[in-house]
Amino acid sequence: MSGDSSCSGRTRCHELAAVVTKVVLALAREHADKDMVSLADLERICALVCKGTISLDEAFRRHAETCRQEHSRPKGNVGARSNPFQRMMVRPFETLLVGEHAVFPRHYLPNYFEFLGRALGGELEKYETHCRSIIQALLVVHGNNLTWDHFYADQRTLKTMAAALAILERYLTSPEGTTAWHTCLVRPVGEHPAPSIPHTDQVRRAIQDTARGLAAG
């Protein structure tokens, strides 16, 4: 079958239903009398279809295989191409990224990641490598059921986040960091205009509040 390969894809499920419908219609035409089919005949046709046909068996087999592959993938898009460190460092303000009137839409994240690179300098690669090692350790435990919530809740992640945010907060309170924040954050991205200073201030407060909360905890 063509169409969306996702188990949850509407097109694939409709195509599967279409196979069943075609079989039912073909059998109904065979039993029709003056273009009419009795309810009893229709019930017998449905019972026959439920027993399976070669066409249906093949369609169900392919659909079942697609579902199996879909559900065997790690949930929450935890994969080799993901950057867990970036995900972790967005966590303090992720609620500001979503919604029709998001405070800091996702298309501005490259600006934030550039600032993150300036703040951490040579430590950035070390943190990225460490976060990937946490993911690998969690995969051993959770396998394909690993989600981002597992990663966020892990004590190693919380400890790593606390250390990275402490560096970030110190940088934010320095003259150099303040300048870098405005240089990186308050600027356009592609066709999107620069975010407002009040909006980027909300992001900064969320980062600082999280850093202080983790330090206190």
Shared-domain flag, residues 34 and 97:
no
**Per-residue pLDDT at 207 exceeds 50:** yes
CA distance 76 to 68: 17
Q: What is the mean pLDDT of residues 45-50?
A: 74
DSSP, collapsed to helix, strand or coil, labels residue 72 as: coil
Q: How many domains does the chain have?
A: 2
Q: Which of 70, 73, 72, 95 is nearest to 82 (CA)?
A: 73
Q: What is the mean pLDDT of residues 86-106?
A: 95
Shared-domain flag, residues 194 and 141:
yes
**pTM (predicted TM-score):** 0.64
Q: Is 79 left (phi over 0), alpha (psi -120 to 50) or beta?
A: beta
Shared-domain flag, residues 160 and 63:
no
Range of the domain at 107: 76-216
Q: Is the dihedral of CA 18, 20, 21, 22 positive or negative?
A: positive
Q: Would 26 be classed as within a structural domain?
A: yes
DSSP, collapsed to helix, strand or coil, labels residue 7 as: coil
Q: Would 1 be classed as within a structural domain?
A: no
Shared-domain flag, residues 31 and 111:
no
CA distance 162 to 213: 9
pLDDT of res. 72: 42
Shared-domain flag, residues 80 and 68:
no
